[in-house]
């Protein structure tokens, strides 16, 4: 599902104009990005958590040049779904 499809479905279900729904979705995503960039996690009960994970410094290899490089410690964004979210997905997934 794309952002446009999500906005269209929310708009159809709620009766709110697509422009307003799009503005809300964009504002939500901006707030999550701003919070994570400050190192603050975002918790949405029943949905999941947007968290900042810390990656330790490690040694990487460039195989083509046969050299090693040091990859510095850094933070990355991650999403951890809630148990109810995981269970709903598990119950509704059909195995092919």
Q: What is the pLDDT of residues 41-96, one digit of tens each?
A: 999 999 999 999 999 999 999 888 889 999 999 999 999 999 999 999 988 776 65
Among candidates 84, 74, 11, which has minimal Cα distance to 46? Answer: 84
Question: Phi, psi at residue 48, to the nearest 5°?
Answer: 160, -170
What pLDDT, on the 0 to 100 scale, is given for residue 96? 58
What pLDDT, on the 0 to 100 scale, is given for residue 62? 87
What pLDDT, on the 0 to 100 scale, is given for residue 94? 66
CATH number 4.10.520.10 given to 41-96: yes
Token output for 66 = 């046969």
41 vs 35: CA distance, rounded Å: 7
What pLDDT, on the 0 to 100 scale, is given for residue 95? 60
pTM of the model: 0.77
DSSP 63: T
């Amino acid at each position: 599902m794309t952002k446009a499809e999500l906005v269209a479905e929310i708009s159809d279900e709620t009766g709110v104009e697509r422009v307003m729904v799009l503005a809300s979705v964009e504002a939500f995503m901006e707030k999550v990005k701003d919070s994570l960039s400050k190192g603050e996690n975002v918790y949405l009960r029943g949905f999941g958590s947007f968290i900042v994970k810390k990656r330790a410094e490690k040694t990487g290899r460039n195989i083509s040049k046969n050299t090693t490089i040091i990859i510095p410690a850094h933070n990355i964004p991650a999403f951890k779904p809630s148990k109810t979210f995981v269970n709903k997905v598990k119950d509704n997934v059909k195995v092919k």
